[in-house]
Amino acid sequence: MIGSVRGTVIDRSPSGEVLIEVGGVGYRALVPLGALGGLEPGSIAFLFTHLNSRDDALTLYGFPTRGERDVFEILLGTVGVGPSLALKILSVHNPRALQRAVADEDLAALTLVPGVGKRTAERLVIELRARLDVPESVGVSETAPNTRVEVREALSGLGYGPEEVRAIMVRVPEDGSVEDLLRIALQLLATSR
């Protein structure tokens, strides 16, 4: 099994595929979309990897941190989650954000992932609560609103579509006040148009 690769980034695609040359051999790996920024062609990269074997293909998945790879493998053990969906989940939520969404039972955050509907999100919350070892302190208290949920609702209320909200929320910081996060989201939306 291939546990990691270190080499020169030869190419990358917007869909999340990178080509890394290691000792004269090029390895194609699929990575979370958030990892693409650190994988510039010509740079040296290190990825923790997971090799997925099917009857018709061997697919290498790469992650900048061991924690992301570990969460990917936990997701693979969840009913109804294959490698493609697990990678989509990690492209939208880093491990900490996923842990927070599970702790908060934030179905809206989970349904930001393409291919995850309400029913799948409910199942993910139930199955991942124990598997991700979600501490009680990660969740928000009943008196403290989840700021990211409020920001998503505010953007929807301003007329932004689900795809726009999904794309921007990936780029918005994890912590901050509703006002600060909303201002950042609106600035990002303004510059992306």
What is the CATH code of the structural domain delimited by 147-192? 1.10.8
Asked whether this chain's domains 4-63 and 66-138 adopt the same fold, the reply is: no
What tens digit of pLDDT does each residue of 153-172 get?
888 888 888 777 877 887 88
Q: Which CATH architecture has domain 66-138?
A: Orthogonal Bundle (1.10)
DSSP-derived 3-state class of residue 10? strand
CATH topology of domain 4-63: OB fold (Dihydrolipoamide Acetyltransferase, E2P) (2.40.50)
Residue appearing with tokens 């697990």: 86
Report the pLDDT value the prediction gives residue 188, as an integer from 0 to 100. 86
Beta strand 25-30 pairing with 58-63: parallel
Q: Which two tokens mark 152?
A: 């998503």
What tens digit of pLDDT does each residue of 124-153 get?
998 898 888 775 544 444 434 477 778 888
Verdict on whether the full-model pTM lies above 0.85: no
Residue appearing with tokens 């004269």: 24
Average pLDDT, the chain: 87
Residue type, 164: E
| CA dist., res. 116 & res. 51, Å (int) | 24
Tens-level pLDDT at each residue, the chain (193 residues): 789 999 999 999 999 999 999 999 999 999 999 899 899 999 999 999 999 998 898 999 999 999 999 999 999 998 889 999 999 999 999 898 898 889 888 888 899 899 999 999 999 998 898 888 775 544 444 434 477 778 888 888 888 887 778 778 878 887 788 888 888 988 888 887 6
Q: Are 62 and 90 in contact (CB under 8 A)?
A: no
> Domain spans of the chain?
4-63, 66-138, 147-192
Report the pLDDT value the prediction gives residue 167, as an integer from 0 to 100. 76
Report the pLDDT value the prediction gives residue 189, as an integer from 0 to 100. 85
DSSP line for 118-177:
HHHHHHHHHHHHHHTT--GGGSPPSSS--HHHHHHHHHHHTT--HHHHHHHHTTS-SSS-
- What residues contact residue 44 under an 8 Å CB cut-off, 6+ apart? 6, 7, 8, 9
